[in-house]
Amino acid sequence: MSDKPKSHGRLSISASLKPRELMSHNPRLAGVWTARIITLFPDAFPGVLGESLTGKALKDGKWQLETTNLRDFGLTKHRNVDDTPAGGGAGMVLRPDVLGPAIEHTMRGARGNWPLVYLSPRGRRFDQKMARAWSQADGITMLCGRFEGVDQRVLDHYNIQEVSLGDFVLTGGEIAAQAMIDASVRLLPSVLGNADSIEEESHSNGLLEHPQYTKPAQWAGRDIPEVLMSGHHGKIEKWRREMAESITKERRPDMWAALHADQDS
């Protein structure tokens, strides 16, 4: 093994690059959908996004991922990023004079429609609609909090939208960021080859998806529903629609009601 530094002047995105090596800024990929993450834990990326469909698309240059290490903007020789909450109380809060420069550095060169969001349990609940909107943007910048969160003035000053992964509290925004990026990247037209599978899946048409089966035809004494083996596309379509409707009605009365409210209006 040689210790020679890796060339940064590559002309093509090489499949031999490891996911983490794909995360340095690559001017050749200007115009490609980009997620920029501000985090104290850049090593957590690409994480699971480096696997499977999203990982291959990252390698193929169909989207890119860049991290800003919040620690680099820390103050004093200890690179402090946080301090005690004004008014007292438990924990630490990320300082505005650290976050501000990190945000400005990260947003540099972000053009067009480029949301800036803060992952936060107080935020609007993330959903498929938001994933679709983000996938149609030019890119997105996500601020991952830690400890008790961030100084409110930063959110106000940059007019940052707060987005939540769900009604629970995580230790940090990184897992939420990866979940939201995954949901957005798989909707990029160049990424998910088979667009039909997007149309039919849960949440894209206001319904949860019908049950899926695969081989073997019999397993543990259970058969695949006969209609799916019939080869009759009309009947299969009808069965799937009915199953999707009954599952949605039973599990998510809120979605079922919303679907009918839409149809009535």
Element (H, E) at 256: helix 253-264
Position 121 contacts ligand SAH (CB under 6 A): yes
In the chain, the amino acid numbered 256 is W
Report the alpha-carbon angle 256-262-265, nearest 5: 140
- Torsion over CA: 239, 131, 25, 41 (sign): negative
Indicate which single residue of 23, 57, 144, 160 sits in contact with ligand SAH (rule: CB under 6 A). 144
Report the alpha-carbon angle 115-126-124, nearest 5: 80
Tokens of 40: 């104290």
Residues in 159-218 at the binding interface with ligand SAH, rule: CB under 6 A: 164-166, 168-170, 172-173, 176
Indicate which single residue of 68, 120, 135, 248 sits in contact with ligand SAH (rule: CB under 6 A). 120
Nearest CB to ligand SAH, comparing residues 70 and 165: 165
From 30-38, 58-66, 72-80, 116-124, span contacting ligand SAH (CB under 6 A): 116-124
Nearest CB to ligand SAH, comparing residues 150 and 208: 150
- Torsion over CA: 257, 119, 179, 102 (sign): positive
From 18-26, 65-73, 139-147, 228-236, span contacting ligand SAH (CB under 6 A): 139-147
Q: Under the rule (CB under 6 A), what is the footprint of ligand SAH?
A: 119-122, 144-146, 148-149, 164-166, 168-170, 172-173, 176
